[in-house]
């Protein structure tokens, strides 16, 4: 299995630094950081779902209807998404559907919020 690249580890490192620094804050500031993190995770989940719905579900509906991505199942499928998209580079298949660099970065960031690493 390939080791994650530095680019993939960077968001996790930034979060770790924010968490470590938040221990110096008073409780109200710490709660604010926590709320900010939860809001960030929620926004990333929405963005990731949009990517999966528009780029992945197009084929999954025809080829693999049991693997259609929905809001209620994407967190559970995060390890498989990571493996297929980033490690094995098997998805998305074909030439007509591609992920932009921004879409890859969004999925990477979202995967880090899923505590895969």
Model confidence over 53-63: pLDDT tens digits? Answer: 999 999 999 99
- Confidence (pLDDT) at 28: 46
Burial of 45 per CB tally in 10 Å (0-12, 13-18, 19+): middle
Model confidence over 7-46: pLDDT tens digits? Answer: 666 666 566 555 555 444 454 445 555 668 889 999 999 9
User: The whole model's pTM is what?
Assistant: 0.69
Under 8 Å CB-to-CB from 104, ≥6 apart: which residues? Answer: 85
For the ranges 2-6, 8-12, 15-19, 89-93, the maximum mean pLDDT occurs at 89-93
Residue 94 — very low, low, confident or very high, per pLDDT cuts 50/70/90? confident
Range 103-111 average pLDDT: 96
* Nearest C-alpha neighbor of 57 from the set 41, 40, 39, 77: 77
For residues 20 and 87, which has the higher predicted lDDT (pLDDT)? Answer: 87
């Amino acid at each position: 299995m390939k080791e994650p690249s530095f680019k993939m580890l960077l968001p996790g490192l930034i979060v770790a630094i924010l968490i470590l620094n938040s221990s110096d804050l008073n409780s109200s500031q710490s709660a604010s950081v926590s709320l900010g993190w939860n809001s960030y995770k929620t926004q990333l989940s929405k963005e990731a779902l949009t990517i999966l719905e528009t780029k992945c579900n197009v084929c999954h509906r025809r080829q693999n209807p049991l693997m259609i991505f929905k809001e209620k199942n994407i967190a559970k499928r995060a390890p498989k998404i990571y493996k297929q998209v980033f490690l094995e580079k098997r998805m998305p298949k074909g030439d007509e559907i591609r992920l932009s660099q921004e879409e890859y970065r969004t999925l990477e960031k979202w995967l880090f919020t899923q505590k895969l690493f």
